Structure 1
Amino acid sequence: MDEVCVIGGSRYFGRRLITRLRDAGVRVTLVNRGSTPPPEGVTRLTADRDDEAALSAALGDRTFDAVVDQVLYTPVQAAAARRVFRGRTGRYVMTSTIEVYAGIAAGAPLAEAAVDPEAVPVDLELPWQQRHLIADHYAEGKRQAEAVLARGQAELPYVAVRTAHVLGGGAEDFTGRLAHYVERIRAGEEVRVHRDARPSTFVEYHEIADFLAWTAGSSFTGPVNACSPGDLGVAELCRLVGERVGREARFRTDGDEPSPFSFGHYYGMDNSRAAQLGYEFSPLSSWLPGVVAEAAARVGGPGA
């Protein structure tokens, strides 16, 4: 694998992916809107991925061994990607999400077959260009984007990496989700959770970047779950944070919106397919304490 195009993802694990590829000797082309400069040694093309003509013009006659799309949220974007990259690459990797399984009642980790992209209805007439629609229907947008790529895989072979909830990154984690727990528990404030909070699956931010790079250079196609073995509930997360900062977590189970990583239903993922393909994710227990310590140090205060 010599040439890879990465669309978006200029921060957090997306940036880690870019430097991981570059350091492995891959020539990386980053496509973004120009707001974030690329890492040293990476070519940048400035284009809005929602402007199909501008994206095609920016790419010119370039071809790639693989494309990794970090910002594919809607079926309209997926349809445009099929048109733009057909003939430019033989492998299209979409960063998808665990959220495609939202709404499925499950008591055990879900395998990829639980959501078959080829069976998902697609509606290209919805106003997918409206940001609020993307935000409000994130899971559905991702499902339909996968469906569009699946139906075009004869002309553009694809992979949908269904990414678990990402933890880690220290100062690079712009989401504030883990910091939320550190700040509230350290301050003695209540953490809002579901009354019957259920666990989910997670992945460490270095490892998801490495998995995306590994996937770009592989040959398999279709959906693949990306997560560490083991699941985690909000109570256990709060216990680990509390141990680190020296205070016991206090919970509130009614009223306002629950905290991030508090879930009212179980939707863990089964990573057996990734293992069968040759990638072994690290167990959650092997990296979670370090990530909590890193977050505590970043936020500062006792236990940092």
Structure 2
Amino acid sequence: MNTILVIGGSRYFGKSLVTKARDAGHEVTVLNRGSIAPPVGVGHVVADRDDEEGLRTALGSRTFDAVIDQVCYTPRQAAVARRVLAGRTGRYVMTSTMEVYDPATLPGRAANGGTPVTEDSLDLAGTGPTAPYADPAHAYAEGKRQAEAVFLREPAFPFVSVRTAHVLGGGREEFTGRLAHYVERIAAGTPVDVHEAPYATSFIHHREIADMLYWAAAQNFTGPVNAASHGELDVTGLCELVAARLGRRPRYRVVEEGAAASPFSFDRAYAMDNGRAAALGFGFGRVAEWLPGAIAEAAGH
């Protein structure tokens, strides 16, 4: 692997991925719409990935040993990328999400009772697009499923989808604000909204997912792979760790069935099994090892 195209890569763990590949001596190019310049020493292509002809023109005759796609959210984006990058890409890695497994976004799919899900529990190879999504509230998960399906159904290059767990760490870089939600509530003594019996979920550190994407781009396996640190954690366990760091006691408010709760409180199971990636050679850390530091960052300590 020598030449790498990162589609997106402008913020959070995408920036860490880009700088890691650059510092390892690879020729790295970032493709985005131009609102954020890439780090020094990294090439830059300005294009709108939804504009097929514009994208083709912007890339010119460039070829890549690997493409790492950080911002593929729809089947149309996947189809455009597949057509434009076919014949010039040695390997394609798409950043996907654990939410593809969420039974709440899969009509007719029941919760699995708490067993961490494996990659083969979801078969997308024959999935066709819906118009546009069955439920707009679940557009993110369904968009990712359909995007994966486009690459799997008509492979134009070796393809990997990295289904990442909830990414934490990095302080203000963690733009979702989900960990800060807990820090702020517990520090203020505000109750955290939780389900009566919340299920555990999966997490990964922002530097760890950058490392895994970089690793996946250099391997030869294909298909989906789960990316999660060892050790699932439910919302009350997360609150206890935050509270211990802040020197406070967490307070809880149980929500009614079907009502919205705080981030990471789930009334259904879809934590991930990371066994495939581990067997292929990637060494995951443990949530218990890095989460206290991430909490400290979110608290500004």
Give the TM-score normalised by structure 1: 0.92
Q: Residue 12 of structure 1 corresponds to which residue in structure 2?
A: 12
Q: Residue 301 of structure 1 corresponds to which residue in structure 2?
A: none
Distance 1:152 1:248 in 2: 53
**RMSD of aligned Cα (Å):** 1.5
Q: Residue 87 of structure 1 corresponds to which residue in structure 2?
A: 87
- Identity rate of aligned residues, in percent? 58
How many Å apart are 1:158 and its aligned residue?
0.5
Q: Residue 177 of structure 2 corresponds to which residue in structure 1?
A: 176
How many Å apart are 1:127 and its aligned residue?
4.4
Tell me the matched-pair count: 291
Distance 2:54 2:128 in 1: 29
Distance 1:269 1:257 in 2: 22
Letter in 2 for 1:284: V
Contact 2:126 2:153 (8 Å CA) reproduced:
no
After TM superposition, list the pairs within 5 Å mapping 1:158-177 onto structure 2.
158-177=159-178
Task: Tell me whether 1:295 sits opposite 2:298 in the alignment.
Answer: yes
Q: Residue 264 of structure 2 corresponds to which residue in structure 1?
A: 261
Q: Residue 118 of structure 1 corresponds to which residue in structure 2?
A: 125
After TM superposition, list the pairs within 5 Å mapping 1:240-259 onto structure 2.
240-254=241-255, 257-259=260-262
Q: Residue 49 of structure 2 corresponds to which residue in structure 1?
A: 49
Distance 2:20 2:277 in 1: 20
After TM superposition, list the pairs within 5 Å mapping 1:188-199 onto structure 2.
188-199=189-200
Distance 1:175 1:140 in 2: 20
- SS of the residue aligned with 1:18? helix
Q: Over residues 253-295 of structure 1, what are the superposed CA-to-partner deviations in whole Å (9 max), with x where a residue is unaligned?
A: 1266311111111111111110111111112212112211222
Distance 2:132 2:224 in 1: 26
- SS of the residue aligned with 2:50? coil
- SS of the residue aligned with 1:213? helix
Q: Over residues 29-88 of structure 1, what are the superposed CA-to-partner deviations in whole Å (9 max), with x where a residue is unaligned?
A: 100011111111111111111111111111000000000000101111111111000011
Contact 2:31 2:47 (8 Å CA) reproduced:
yes
- Name stretches of at least 5 consecutive residues in structure 1 with no aligned partner: 299-303
Letter in 1 for 2:196: R
Distance 2:128 2:230 in 1: 31
Q: Over residues 222-259 of structure 1, what are the superposed CA-to-partner deviations in whole Å (9 max), with x where a residue is unaligned?
A: 00000011101100110111111111111111266311
Q: Residue 152 of structure 1 corresponds to which residue in structure 2?
A: 154
- SS of the residue aligned with 1:236? helix
Task: Tell me whether 1:105 sits opposite 2:105 in the alignment.
Answer: no
Distance 2:283 2:126 in 1: 29
Moved more, 234-243 or 171-180: 171-180
Quick one: which of 144, 148, 173 aligns to 1:142?
A: 144
Moved over 2 A (4+): 119-123, 254-257
Letter in 2 for 1:138: Y
Distance 2:40 2:32 in 1: 15
After TM superposition, list the pairs within 5 Å mapping 1:275-286 onto structure 2.
275-286=278-289
Q: Residue 218 of structure 2 corresponds to which residue in structure 1?
A: 217
Distance 2:262 2:297 in 1: 20
- Name stretches of at least 5 consecutive residues in structure 2 with no aligned partner: 104-109
